[in-house]
Structure 1
Amino acid sequence: MTEPVTLALTAGEPAGIGPELCLQLATEERAQHVVVVASRELMEARQALMGLHVKLQPWQPGEAVATVAGELSVLDVPGIADTTAGMTHTGNSQYVLDTLNIAARGCLDGTFDGMVTAPVHKGVINEAGIAFSGHTEFLQELCGVERVVMMLATEELRVALVTTHLPLKDVPAAITPERIRQVTRILNQDLKTYFGIRHPRILVAGLNPHAGEGGHLGREEIEVIEPTLDQLRQEGITLTGPLPADTLFTPHWLDDADAALAMYHDQGLPVLKFQGFGRAVNITLGLPIVRTSVDHGTALDLAGTGRADAGSLHTAIRVGEQMARYRREHAQQTGTPS
């Protein structure tokens, strides 16, 4: 029998919908082994508010993980200051970061095979005096890697980004040969490692309208992007582009590709979210661990109402499990540590 994959699931912002999305997992029997990394006090308060009856099983490394309907394994994290749904509290900020730290270090030491994250509230963490720009940057620093890549995916489409959360005015200067090389190499390698794609085919968008139209609408394609893609092709990476972004995301191109690489956040993600919002997953590539997340925010206005849709969380868990399994297979085939 194949050894099960065990995923850590952080419940995210205590005032948001994360805790109740975690509780919704226990409404039916599940194949995945998921341990919720959160305050037991918070989970108890949220299920009482929603009138749920979930048996919260205390969990420690090495113990069996609950998978039957009505039960949920919880690794208790102390430090919660307030459990009120819909109202953020700066006193919860360190607790939220503690859940991420415990889950990530558990992945690094082999306690977990991967981690799935419910949404956090970046604003309230920063209001608490803790500099925090997001899960991705937090995990990048914790894992000690130079570059990570943000990729969102649905069943039909994968979109990775060269730059992420930058003002548009800063994007052109950030698209350097070195950044393109790093991001493309990570994307190519992780499509092999985590998705079982032996020879990834990657579409690359240009920066400017019509991919610069031969230099008439910008020269970044000619001076930066095209020469860098040519270098990467010499390494054996299969790349098509730079293509105009307004035609890249059409069946003509996508039907023969494994992923698209967009130059900036709002070039690629609106297409993906229109195509699959609520069933997409946010994936961090370039880490030594598996990390997936939901494609939505904390939804404070929905917290405690029972109206939150767990579709994206189910997708994040399923994709996280698949990635962890492919990683095991890749490690066995290549003789590298898993």
Structure 2
Amino acid sequence: MNAEQQKPLIGFTSGDINGIGIELIIKTLSDNRILDQCTPVVFASNKCINFYRKSMPEINFSYQSVKDFSRINHKQLNIFNCWDEEVPISAGQLNETGGRYARTSLQHAVNALKDGLIQGLVTAPLHKKNIQSADFNFTGHTPYLKHAFGLNDVVMLMVASNLRVALVTEHVPVKDIAAHISKESIISKLVIINESLKRDFGIEKPKIAVLGLNPHAGDEGLVGNEEQTIIKPSVKEVKDKGILAFGPFSADAFFARAQYQQFDAVLAMYHDQGLIPFKSLAIGEGVNYTAGMPAIRTSPDHGTAFDIAGKGQADASSFLAAIFECIDIIKRRADYDESRSNPLRKMSNVIIANAADEAIEVNEDESES
């Protein structure tokens, strides 16, 4: 295998074709330096790509069209045509057409990921309502990927250079959150996060903070007892298994005092509890990573942005970060797996980790205040 073929093949979904997904693909993949790092394969159609390319004449964007992976060109961007028919594009509009072709792109890309034809996948934003169909009843990428790979659990892990935030519950109505919080779900998430931090992020002894569900982490049962009956016992159980988990912490004080800087990841109980501080602190570079899968998938941390779709205004920072994070995780995972099969390298990694490891002091009383 030559050097070109050793680069990972990274797949890209179109997302909702009326949103900003294809614009982001054109903006990021028009930089030929990306080809030094990976071989991009976009699951869409030439016609959809050309529709948006015409609105950005200042961008030099070239590609080759393929329908067979044996025809992939490792020196060029590849468009894998998932459909040939003419599709009416209404940039900025939420309609059934946008959802249908977002679904088609995603299903083709995930099949390629499962079959090992691509080594990683970067998904452009879709809309959770219009993608629904008789054979697609999922609230987003994460539950669909869990189903497609036949997994018992996965974790939505938001990643930035200064913070990683995972969720116990994802797209659940606020009134139903407490019913979805259980020892089993928290323990499952912590086990997956711990393994992912080691294998995918190269952290030998990861430290994980766990947030409480209620204000002030329940105030010892005064404003809710989930911390006492569910979260604390979950933290203790995983600690007994050797996982360095701490908490529960009061969410507001935890972020206000920058305690997240002492940890390698934070497990939040619900969507807004974790994503509001994450998006505030990630400064446009946030990436959504699906931890716990045998394959690697990343995504930008924003939605379809119909209000600016087709206007050339979309900020590609998060999408570009998702591409580089996907490539980096592929490399780190390969290094981790190789080190586990090489006793000498494994011993070297342990010695380095022990030398660099610093003890963390956690005030358990403060974590509940």
Tell me if both proteins adopt one fold, taking TM over 0.5 as the criterion: yes
Letter in 2 for 1:179: S
Which of residues 34, 37, 47 is equivalent to 1:32? 37
Letter in 2 for 1:186: I
Aligned to 1:287: 293
Aligned to 1:303: 309
Deviation of the 1:301 alpha carbon: 2.1
Aligned to 2:252: 246
**TM-score scaled to structure 1, two decimals?**
0.92
Aligned to 2:69: 61
Segments of 5+ residues of structure 1 without an aligned counterpart are none
Q: 1:36 and 1:234, CA in 2 relative to 1: closer, same or farther beyond 3 A?
A: same
Letter in 1 for 2:78: S
Partners of 1:21 and 1:310 within 8 A in 2: yes
Partners of 1:40 and 1:77 within 8 A in 2: no
Which of residues 74, 82, 85 is equivalent to 2:79? 74
Which runs of structure 1 show a deviation greater than 3 angstroms over 4 or more consecutive aligned residues?
Answer: 91-94, 127-130
Aligned to 1:195: 201
Q: 1:311 and 1:184, CA in 2 relative to 1: closer, same or farther beyond 3 A?
A: same
What is the aligned length?
332
Letter in 2 for 1:177: K
Partners of 1:16 and 1:85 within 8 A in 2: yes
Which of residues 19, 23, 46 is equivalent to 1:20? 23
Deviation of the 1:79 alpha carbon: 5.6
Which of residues 160, 167, 189 is equivalent to 1:161? 167
Q: 1:151 and 1:316, CA in 2 relative to 1: closer, same or farther beyond 3 A?
A: same
Q: Distance in 2 between matches of 1:104 and 1:329?
A: 24
Q: Distance in 2 between matches of 1:332 and 1:316?
A: 24
| Cα deviation 1:128-172 (Å, max 9, x = unaligned) | 895332111111111110111111111100000111111222111
Aligned to 1:186: 192
Aligned to 1:9: 12
Q: 1:303 and 1:128, CA in 2 relative to 1: closer, same or farther beyond 3 A?
A: farther
Segments of 5+ residues of structure 2 without an aligned counterpart are 343-369
Q: 1:232 and 1:179, CA in 2 relative to 1: closer, same or farther beyond 3 A?
A: same
Q: Distance in 2 between matches of 1:194 and 1:129?
A: 32
Return the index of the structure with the highest Cα Rg. 2
Q: Distance in 1 between matches of 2:306 and 2:162?
A: 30
Q: 1:233 and 1:82, CA in 2 relative to 1: closer, same or farther beyond 3 A?
A: same
Q: Distance in 1 between matches of 2:177 and 2:165?
A: 17
Partners of 1:79 and 1:92 within 8 A in 2: no
Which of residues 97, 105, 111 is equivalent to 1:105? 111
Partners of 2:217 and 2:249 within 8 A in 1: yes
Q: Distance in 2 between matches of 1:302 and 1:126?
A: 23
Q: 1:129 and 1:144, CA in 2 relative to 1: closer, same or farther beyond 3 A?
A: closer
Matched, 1:224 2:233: no
Which of residues 111, 118, 129 is equivalent to 1:123? 129
Please say which of residues 19-28 and 201-210 is displaced more in the overlay.
Answer: 19-28
Q: 1:91 and 1:187, CA in 2 relative to 1: closer, same or farther beyond 3 A?
A: same
Q: Distance in 2 between matches of 1:289 and 1:135?
A: 14
Partners of 1:50 and 1:304 within 8 A in 2: no
Matched, 1:313 2:316: no
Letter in 2 for 1:64: N
Q: 1:121 and 1:277, CA in 2 relative to 1: closer, same or farther beyond 3 A?
A: farther
Partners of 2:268 and 2:274 within 8 A in 1: yes
Q: Distance in 2 between matches of 1:26 and 1:112?
A: 17
Deviation of the 1:54 alpha carbon: 2.0
Please say which of residues 26-35 and 39-48 is displaced more in the overlay.
Answer: 26-35
Matched, 1:50 2:53: no
State the identity %: 37
Partners of 1:154 and 1:280 within 8 A in 2: yes
Q: Distance in 2 between matches of 1:128 and 1:297?
A: 23
Partners of 1:290 and 1:323 within 8 A in 2: yes
Q: Distance in 1 between matches of 2:30 and 2:261?
A: 37
Q: Distance in 1 between matches of 2:135 and 2:106?
A: 18
Partners of 2:163 and 2:261 within 8 A in 1: no
Aligned to 2:144: 138
Letter in 2 for 1:78: W
Q: 1:65 and 1:86, CA in 2 relative to 1: closer, same or farther beyond 3 A?
A: farther
Q: Distance in 1 between matches of 2:42 and 2:279?
A: 26
Deviation of the 1:277 alpha carbon: 4.4
Partners of 1:11 and 1:38 within 8 A in 2: yes
Q: Distance in 1 between matches of 2:285 and 2:200?
A: 19
Deviation of the 1:201 alpha carbon: 0.4
- What is the aligned-residue RMSD (CA, Å)? 2.1
